[in-house]
Structure 1
């Protein structure tokens, strides 16, 4: 037990530059205190003393601002930084060396019994305010940006941002995969390339239309655009149906 406590303290001193010394970590890190109490309530939960486990976890939530269900599985060297508003559900699993910031929710989207909360692999970083909802796996070394809402599986080493969460791709520049709050200054909006491509296509289409109009006029043909039928959005319904079936994004 004391070996695990020393390991947790060393982990905080390594990953939080605000941590000054061992006494500071012991007394002023509610996220760490919540994890230590959860080890006790988890044992009570396994011993079928479930009312007592939930009652104690309620007091720990009041004291630390962190709610960890006694049934959750928490790995080694997990850091909950700041901690206020963190919620970890009953069937959630948090792997070794994960870092969770304030306001993170590992929640369930099903009312059925059984596995309904996410599983975080090793070394996952979940930024402030992020919501990871559902029974799926977040791969080792993945990073979830602040305020992202993740509702589907995340590949190992990937970075996820936005609502709903969008995968930016794996980043191999950092071997340990750790980035504070799950973001860095080099990250780009995942929609930017799509929007840039769309604008290029519109520009090219306009140029071709002007060339076509000029060619028609040079041959004595005039086209009055006011006589063209208005756009019927029902023509796009097959694309919308395909979006619903396959999760393909279209810009209309």
Structure 2
């Protein structure tokens, strides 16, 4: 079971796919000398979720001179912790830079798909994600095609991912799983007791994995702020 779960995790890290005009198209057009870009200022990392949260509930707000954009996580097919793609953006609030898309054309793909984008700050930090296709189209104009030159970029520093509610309960369930397995394997009791302990270990192990993912993804966490709509919902629920 552990090897199977490890395989799923490794596959999710290297899974292909994603929206059109993603990082590969951005790199190609930047190397060719031109990308579509808008000058923006990084805002807050906002959390819109309630209960079980997916990547759709989190965004990095970017403000241009005439509009705002929402940079979301790049992988919409695998929702487990995909919002971590945006986690470095939390440290960029207040910084200015360029929100970049691949040059308009064949790589823009299906109009219903998200558009791959990258925020590149003036001090050399980069965060990749997606924006709404219609927002990208409305922002694009020939005067927004910017000449580019080779430059070195780096990921911003990440914030702490420690969640007491998630990590402490997961460690407790892992301890119960290990203890039950040890007693079932080495204990002097009857076979029936060993089978019961083995079932307890299996239950706490599997439940601990799901409980951890639910608890870890069910709150904004350090650096994220509740959006106005999320605060309003929370106020209605807990007057």
TM-score band w.r.t. shorter chain? under 0.3
Which protein is richer in helix relative to its size?
A: 2
Bigger RCO (CA 8 Å, 6+ sep):
2
Return the index of the structure with the highest Cα Rg.
Answer: 1
TM-score (ref. length: structure 2) = 0.24
TM-score (ref. length: structure 1) = 0.23
